[in-house]
Amino acid sequence: GFNGADLRNVCTEAGMSAIRAERDYVIHEDFMK
């Protein structure tokens, strides 16, 4: 399973993916990348 640090990293990466896509929100696909 995930610990707190793992979850933070996943969320950070999803946020970066959204930023790269020029969005100000995160979608499911951001978490799957």
**Tally of domains in the chain:** 1
Q: What is the pLDDT at residue 10?
A: 96
Q: What is the pLDDT at residue 19?
A: 98
Place of tokens 């610990």: 3
Q: What is the pLDDT at residue 24?
A: 96
Q: What is the pLDDT at residue 33?
A: 82
Q: What is the pLDDT at residue 1?
A: 86
pTM of the model: 0.81
* Full residue range of the structural domain in which residue 12 is found: 1-33
Could you report the per-residue pLDDT of 1-33, keeping only the tens digit for each? 889 999 999 999 999 999 999 999 999 999 998
Number of Cβ atoms within 10 Å of the Cβ of 30: 20
